[in-house]
Structure 1
Amino acid sequence: MVQMATFSFMIGGNRRYWLFQVFGWGTVFLMNLFFAWSYDRLRTFDDRMMFFARFGILFILGIVFTHVMRMVILEINLLQKKLEKQIYGFTLLTIVFSTLSALLYIGALYRYNYLSAKEIEAIKESGFLLTLLSSTVNIFIFYVIWSLIYFMYHYIAKSRKQQLETLQLETLVKELELKTIKAHINPHFIFNSLNSIRALVDENPQKARKAITELSNILRSSINVDKSETVPLEKELAIVKDYLALENMRFEDRLRVEYQIDEDTLDQPVPPMMLQTLVENAVKHGISKQIEGGVIRVTSEFDSKGSHQLVVLNTGQFEGKITPAKDPLDPLSQGFGLSSTNDRLHFLYGTKGKFEIKQVADNLVEARISIPASQLAL
């Protein structure tokens, strides 16, 4: 009972394998039946009985020996070895098991008298070894086909599994990098905002309290948007407006803000905190260094190619290039904001996402983000 249960479990656990086994050796049987019938070798009842008996033995031996060969392959872990060793291993096993199968096949034909008088006479003339060699070569062909199919099936399955694992690893790395970048953007933004509030505490406590309220709104929004890779532009724009309202308390008349927003772009998905990072950069490196202050203009529109363009134009001078931060684990390292913008666009959109910052006039700097437009929003 235990053996029957084990056998039943083995078949149930490898249903696809056993279906292939029966289908493959059944195909061999049907092909031989077709050729025997085509060459008129099944004329009498005895001929038909002889044929079915002989190929019934071949069918059973084929299933049993290839299954044992599969067990050996799994036992020695052949499929996990180098390709050269796999080829040598499959070749050796195919020769050994086809020889054993041929030996038992001839022995069964002798034992149950499934050889014709003409075949017995031919064996006596050529000798047993030559007969065994001839039978081994015929059976070897079937075993080679079985080995090739088994090898190719697992080779392709292994390659697909490796490709899937590689894609999963790349996705995981991408998610971790995006989370790392987001984790650094928020502290960087918070530190600057707290510095702005600190400057108002002694000068104007009432404005400082209002600034704290603005900061709490920004932090609440930033916590929510961190949960996804993209957010609607409308939500991102709300954070930008809160931030600029906060900075306007510190700079007063030195900071002028303009918005040129195409209403059709408000539903467009954008990376969270990205536009705010550019605006923060414009304030820190542009407006704050101008004695008379300046203007920040935020633009959102579609270009002629259908791409979504986010532009931050500010008074100031752009010096340097967009380079990765010297220490990407240090949120205060120079260049982190711009380099993180470049990196996030690359992770999210590949070559379709573009970011550039340049001097467009004597005292005007333009930061431009180009990302694929969402067709649903359009």
Structure 2
Amino acid sequence: MILGKKHYWLLQLFGWGCFFLWHIFGAWSVDRLNIPEERLIIIQRAAGFALLGLVMTHFLRIAILKMGVFNKKISVQIALILLLMLLTSFLTGIIELIVYKRLGLIIKAEKMIFNKSLLLMILNNALAWVIFFTPWSAIYFVYHYIIAAQKEQIDTLKLKSHIKELELKTIKTHINPHFIFNALNGIRAMVDENPQRARTAITELSNILRSSINIDKSETVPLTDELNIIKDYLALEQMRFEDRLVIEYEIDEKTTGQPVPPMMLQMLVENAIKHGISEEVNGGVVKLISEMDDHILVLTVENTGKLKEQQQGGGFGIKSILERLKLMYGDNADFEILQSSPNKVTARLKLPLIL
């Protein structure tokens, strides 16, 4: 919950209300309230003191904000707040003296000082206000930074949410149009010679498109759901590559229920097909591996081929993966892509394991 104007006024009223009660209690504890001629004056003075303190500290706050004190260096902030606090104390001392004199709220002890020196009376009042305004200024200084910290935290969360929303929308629109074109062409070719396979292919394509539409409904999906989409994707690609594409799975059953970011692994598989298998005359192998390593879920995609520059961070897919991992896991996740052997590229995701 962020502190705002409502909380500021509640704190102001509570603080100066406590001061009023403390003032009355102090007068009562030294029998000042038992002096009939001073009893009403003391109560009125306590109320006036609290009201004047409330009004003047609010004007002090306005001055601090109008001058943009909190936009300056910390040393300048402290110096300006001290200067404004002293000026406010002096001004409040003068206002207090004028009001009390006009309303006849000056008690006997003060009349003696007032008759001797008006300046001494003003300085005496100003010093009293300095004693009260100093802790108020310190509290407000801390109060401001609490608000600023909370606002910054909320703004950061909103920004992350906005970035994530844009990222997911971008991913949704990034389904490779060439893949859809090739899949539809493959389905059309099968309609007559293998109607059953054509119907299955339409279902597989439908599953992939549905998955892309629903990607922003949850941050993660079970690994088994992600693998089902990948199997549909690879089945459609196999229509195009036929014997040139060999698919292998090495899936640890203990990992299938683990949550993973939707379509992240699928993007790595698409990357393996696009930059690996399609570039090889004789095709090659795409292998998916999932395993647990201590408290880390390790997802690996291996493919036949050579690592290209756009696969090392320059392409949309890799950039998207890195940004999403940073947003979702901070420094607790890792991604690497490397030429693991002369003719094999390995992409590896490491995600925190949910026990």
TM range (shorter): 0.7 to 0.9
Q: CA deviation at 1:212?
A: 2.9
CA distance in 1, matches of 2:310, 2:144: 48
1:284–1:101: structure 2 CA closer, same or farther, 3 Å change rule? same
Number of residue-to-residue matches in the alignment: 338
Q: CA deviation at 1:198?
A: 2.1
Query: 5+ unaligned residues in a row in structure 1: which ranges?
Result: 1-10, 326-334
Number of the residue aligned with 1:358: 338
Structure 1 stretch displaced more, 260-269 or 249-258: 249-258
Number of the residue aligned with 1:346: 326
The correspondence of residues 96-175 of structure 1 with structure 2, limited to 5 A, is 96-105=91-100, 111=104, 114-115=107-108, 124=115, 127-145=116-134, 147-148=136-137, 151-152=140-141, 154-175=143-164
CA distance in 2, matches of 1:227, 1:299: 26
Number of the residue aligned with 1:25: 20
User: Are 2:329 and 1:373 equivalent residues in the alignment?
Assistant: no
1:325-367 CA distances to partner (integer Å, 9 max, x unpaired)? 5xxxxxxxxx222222222212211222211111222221111
CA distance in 2, matches of 1:146, 1:52: 29
**RMSD of the alignment, in Å?**
3.4
| Contact 1:299/1:310 (8 A) holds in 2 | yes
1:66–1:113: structure 2 CA closer, same or farther, 3 Å change rule? closer
CA distance in 2, matches of 1:92, 1:313: 72
Q: CA deviation at 1:298?
A: 0.6
SS at match of 2:217: coil
| Contact 2:290/2:298 (8 A) holds in 1 | yes
Q: CA deviation at 1:68?
A: 2.9
CA distance in 2, matches of 1:101, 1:113: 10
User: Are 2:194 and 1:194 equivalent residues in the alignment?
Assistant: no
1:238–1:43: structure 2 CA closer, same or farther, 3 Å change rule? closer
Q: CA deviation at 1:309?
A: 0.5
CA distance in 2, matches of 1:322, 1:24: 68
Number of the residue aligned with 1:278: 268
Structure 1 stretch displaced more, 308-317 or 25-34: 25-34
CA distance in 1, matches of 2:164, 2:25: 54
SS at match of 1:282: helix
Q: CA deviation at 1:196?
A: 3.9
SS at match of 1:175: helix
CA distance in 2, matches of 1:169, 1:364: 41
User: Are 2:75 and 1:82 equivalent residues in the alignment?
Assistant: no
Q: CA deviation at 1:142?
A: 4.2
Query: 5+ unaligned residues in a row in structure 2: which ranges?
Result: 1-5, 70-76
Aligned amino acid, residue 65 of structure 1: L
User: Are 2:94 and 1:94 equivalent residues in the alignment?
Assistant: no
Number of the residue aligned with 2:316: 336
Q: CA deviation at 1:51?
A: 6.5
CA distance in 2, matches of 1:361, 1:323: 16
1:371–1:216: structure 2 CA closer, same or farther, 3 Å change rule? same
1:207-261 CA distances to partner (integer Å, 9 max, x unpaired)? 5834333211221233233422211101100000111111112222221111111
CA distance in 2, matches of 1:310, 1:241: 15
Aligned pair partner of 1:215 in 205, 213, 223: 205
CA distance in 1, matches of 2:114, 2:320: 81
Aligned amino acid, residue 19 of structure 1: F
SS at match of 1:267: coil
| Contact 1:106/1:132 (8 A) holds in 2 | no
Number of the residue aligned with 1:6: none
CA distance in 2, matches of 1:88, 1:351: 45
Q: CA deviation at 1:273?
A: 0.8
CA distance in 2, matches of 1:370, 1:166: 29
SS at match of 2:327: helix
CA distance in 2, matches of 1:277, 1:225: 13
1:257–1:324: structure 2 CA closer, same or farther, 3 Å change rule? closer
Aligned pair partner of 1:293 in 283, 288, 292: 283
1:103–1:113: structure 2 CA closer, same or farther, 3 Å change rule? closer
| Contact 1:324/1:340 (8 A) holds in 2 | no
| Contact 1:181/1:340 (8 A) holds in 2 | no
1:221–1:184: structure 2 CA closer, same or farther, 3 Å change rule? closer
CA distance in 2, matches of 1:204, 1:250: 15
Percent identical among aligned pairs is 31
The correspondence of residues 42-61 of structure 1 with structure 2, limited to 5 A, is 42=31, 46=35, 49=36, 52-53=39-40, 55-61=42-48
Aligned pair partner of 1:230 in 216, 220, 235: 220
Number of the residue aligned with 1:330: none
| Contact 1:50/1:114 (8 A) holds in 2 | no
CA distance in 2, matches of 1:317, 1:112: 92
Number of the residue aligned with 1:7: none
